[in-house]
Amino acid sequence: MMASRERLYAIGADYRKAISGYDKIVKICCGTGCISSGALTVYDELQRVLSKRGLSSKQILVKKTGCHGLCERGPIVVFGDDEILYQNVGKRNIERDIAALLATINEDKIEDELLYKGDDKTKRYMSSFDIPFYSGQTRIVLSLNGVIDPENIEEYVGYGGYKSLHKALQMNPMEIVDLIEKSGLRGRGGGGFLTGFKWRSCRQAQGLPKYVVANGDEGDPGAFMDRSLMEGNPHGILEGMIIGGFAIGSNHGFIYVRDEYPLAVYRLSKAIDEARHHGFLGRSIMNSGFDFDISIFRGGGAFVCGESTALISSIEGKSGEPRAKYIHTTEKGLWGKPTNINNVETWSNVPYIIDRGWEWFQSIGSDRSKGTKVFSLVGKVKNTGLIEVPMGVSLREIIFNLGGGIQGDKKFKAVQTGGPSGGCIPEEFLEIPVDFDSLTKLGSMMGSGGMIVMDERNCMVDVARYFLKFLIEESCGKCTPCREGVRRMHEIVDRICRGDGSMGDIEHLEELGKAIQLSSLCGLGQSAPNPVLSTIKFFREEYRTHVQEKKCPAGVCKNLITVSILPERCTGCMRCAVECPVDCISSEKKEIHGIDQSLCTKCGTCFDVCRFGAVKIS
């Protein structure tokens, strides 16, 4: 079916008419986070109870939406236009909570127990507009996440979807490129390259066909914004890509998605089918004469494939080895043809810029970083989840206001940004604005937007070792500095963690790191030493303590610590004994416990669960 302007309006009008027939709309977050907390059970139960007619005389629409953001408190259930937000639904007592949902539906009765509680436990927040986690955000690309049913194209159109595509198709392709360039949009995948500039060079490149690619390979551990976008609003990505294809002069797009994201693959496939059915993809899109289609390519779980040239090798059916970028992919990319690769989040921004104009986009953000950025805020922060803020907001604002501070009110130690390519930032720099250039100046980077908060119980040397191990596994092995150098760095850091570090190791690491940065072939190797160099820069003292005093101040490195119970504090509650994975804690109720050191694996579980501070790690 061809979609003209009238058709687009008709879909939207039909949707609004259908929606107006409902007395109540209940949105259940079915992002991956909430699903793992039991959201599907809540959905099924509520549907089951509602379908037993007689319980409600009202017309109720219960829908599954994409990620709402506040994953820590999932499953999340939202009523109407976010007027009421319930958290932790069905976690403790599913029957009671379903009854509470019914009471809200039928009698507008608010269940206090399910509302978000503030830090002081007295203030309760009714709507998401008031909760600091939400009120501190500016949602653009996430604006429909958690609002629409991602498996229903009518909802997307009903909320203004594909309007920008229609507008773009009336424009001259070069005009679109200019507009994107003027908006100042920079690539959200990490590099921060100017999107409009990239589009222009691809448009001007010689050779046909041309390709556009959405990079949804998100291999960064600790980052899940691309996943949430693909799962929560797949049409937004498609619309951006179609507009991009039209501007660049391409008729074929690829979405490269990790194989670990089955739900994203499913929802994107469904979105592509629906878009084709309604004439937004395929031949002569919206009767414009422009042909464009999109295929999904499932990645194979290789971190390096997020790098553009490696990603291209992978789509071509080879192993994902990068090549030197003497010639840009915009000139010679997929099968040697001009190819424009942008990250999923970058594509998602495009329809909004077309719709509201470049001046609007320019007005958001900081000096040289325009617009908003989606971050996944995880680690030791109270409100873990997904946030979108204007560029230039300070780290402190993100971690302590939106994130609600550190779990268990422990002391903040560092925040890791940019995944394995980034670095760790200590407390003294919390005031810096978060944008591409400020983070790079600190030896970290924006990356795709993972933000991992660490507290005093995290050892920075161990963190450095973690990233090195990750990178050894993920290096494709093509160039020597990365393949061998990172391995040597890991050996040194591992030795330090085991208590066998020697004088000069730290300096050796710095030297080796700089050499790898200078001589590696692709972005993976060039940035691989960042986590080590930044931890040495800001936490040199912690390295020194490991090397010289053979101690781990955070109590993480197993060879350097012992776990014991302080008899004067132990109340004999047995909590640690129940949780101990190796049953090495001797315990009788109300008697002081003891740890069998020969069995103890020093996992620290007892320390974490003890409510009386009776476990000592030294």
CA 580 vs CA 391, 494, 511, 575: distances in Å: 44, 26, 42, 9
Residue closer to other proteins, measured from CB, 8 or 35: 35
Asked if residue 340 binds other proteins (CB under 8 A), the reply is no
Nearer Cβ to other proteins (3/70): 70
**Who's near 27: CB < 8 A, 6+ residues apart?**
63, 65, 68, 77, 78, 79, 146, 147
Q: Which of 75, 219, 234, 426 binds other proteins (CB under 8 A)?
A: 219
Among 146, 189, 379, 501, binds other proteins (CB under 8 A): 379
Interacting stretch for other proteins, rule CB under 8 A, among 30-38, 134-142, 146-154, 341-349?
30-38
For other proteins, which is the closer residue by CB, 369 or 530? Answer: 530
CB of 567 to other proteins, least distance (A): 24
Specify whether the CB–CB gap between 291 and 283 falls below 8 A.
Answer: yes
Read off φ and ψ for residue 64, nearest 5 degrees: -90, 130
- Tell the smallest beta-carbon distance from residue 220 to other proteins (Å): 7
Site for other proteins (CB under 8 A): which residue of 221, 357, 499, 594? 221
The CA distance from 252 to 334, in Å, is: 11
Residue 181 or 579 with smaller CB distance to other proteins: 579
For residue 97 the two structure tokens come to: 């909570």
Q: Which of residues 543-602 bind other proteins (CB under 8 A)?
A: 578-582, 601
- Annotate each residue in 76-95 with x if it binds other proteins (CB under 8 A) or - if it does not, as one string: --------------------
Instruction: Give the end-to-end CA distance of the chain in Å, rounded to a whole number.
Output: 70
Q: Which of 23, 44, 175, 259 binds other proteins (CB under 8 A)?
A: 259
Shortest CB 120 distance to other proteins, Å? 23
Q: How far is the CB of 225 from other proteins (least distance, A)?
A: 9
Place of tokens 């319930």: 86
Q: How many angstroms separate the CA atoms of 249 and 537, rounded? A: 47
Euclidean distance between CA atoms 615 and 584, whole angstroms: 14
User: Minimum Å distance from CB 454 to other proteins?
Assistant: 6
Interface residue with other proteins, options 128, 183, 376, 438 (CB under 8 A): 376
Kindly tell me which of 192 and 385 has the beta carbon lying closer to other proteins: 385
- If binding is defined by CB under 8 A, does position 435 make contact with other proteins? no
Judged on CB neighbours under 10 Å (0-12, 13-18, 19+), 381 is buried
β-partners of residue 297 are 256
Rounded CA separation 512/464 (Å): 14
| Segment interacting with other proteins (CB under 8 A) among 20-28, 67-75, 241-249, 337-345 | 67-75
Q: Rule CB under 8 A: say whether 385 interacts with other proteins.
A: yes
Give the nearer residue to other proteins in terms of CB position, either 445 or 476: 476
* Choice between 34 and 350, CB closer to other proteins: 34
65: contact with other proteins by CB under 8 A: no
Among 28, 29, 42, 71, binds other proteins (CB under 8 A): 71
Number of residues that bind other proteins (CB under 8 A): 66
Binding status of residue 345 toward other proteins by CB under 8 A: no
DSSP letter string, 553-602: TTS--GGG--EEE-TTT-----HHHHH-TT--EE--TTS--EE-TTT---
Helical (H) or strand (E) element with 315: helix 308-315
Q: Tell me how far, at minimum, the Cβ of 223 lies from other proteins, in Å.
A: 7
Q: Among all chains, which residue has been given the structure tokens 């779990």?
A: 407
Residues 149 and 63 sit within 8 Å (Cβ to Cβ): yes
**What are the tokens at 487?**
């391995």
| Minimal distance, residue 54 CB to other proteins, in Å | 34
Q: Which of 241, 247, 463, 489 binds other proteins (CB under 8 A)?
A: 463
Binders in 179-198 for other proteins, by CB under 8 A: none
Say if residue 195 is exposed, middle or buried (CB neighbours under 10 Å; 0-12, 13-18, 19+). buried
Q: Which residues within the stretch 274-333 sit at the binding site for other proteins (CB under 8 A)?
A: 297-303, 314-320
Sole window of 343-351, 462-470, 509-517, 591-599 interacting with other proteins (rule: CB under 8 A):
462-470
In 3D, which of 308, 287, 310, 297 has the Cα closest to residue 264?
Answer: 297
Residue 262 lies near other proteins (rule: CB under 8 A): yes
**Cβ–Cβ < 8 Å for 434, 262:** no
Taking Cα atoms as reference points, which of 242, 450, 275 lies closest to residue 267? Answer: 275
Check binding of 23 to other proteins (CB under 8 A).
no
Q: Among candidates 295, 210, 201, 270, which has minimal Cα distance to 246?
A: 210
Q: Which of 6, 107, 473, 568 binds other proteins (CB under 8 A)?
A: 473
Determine the Cα–Cα distance for residues 466 and 448; give it in Å rounded to an integer: 19
Binding track over 405-434 against other proteins, x by CB under 8 A: -----------x--x---------------
Provide the token pair at 452: 């991992």
Cβ neighbours for 549, distance < 8 A, ≥ 6 positions apart: none
State the amino acid at position 389 in one-letter form: V
Q: Applying CB under 8 A, does 145 fall inside the site for other proteins?
A: no
Any contact of residue 470 with other proteins (CB under 8 A)?
Answer: yes
State which residue, 11 or 39, has the beta carbon closest to other proteins: 39
Taking the complex as a whole, the smallest distance from the CB of residue 157 to other proteins amounts, in Å, to 28
Question: Is 449 near other proteins (CB under 8 A)?
Answer: no
Q: Could you say whether residue 223 binds other proteins (CB under 8 A)? A: yes
Residues 6+ apart with CB under 8 A from 240: 346, 347, 348, 349, 350, 351
Note the residues at the interface with other proteins (CB under 8 A). 32-33, 35-37, 71-72, 74, 218-224, 227, 258-262, 297-303, 314-320, 376-380, 384-386, 416, 419, 450, 452, 454, 458, 463, 466-467, 470, 473-474, 476, 578-582, 601, 603-605, 608
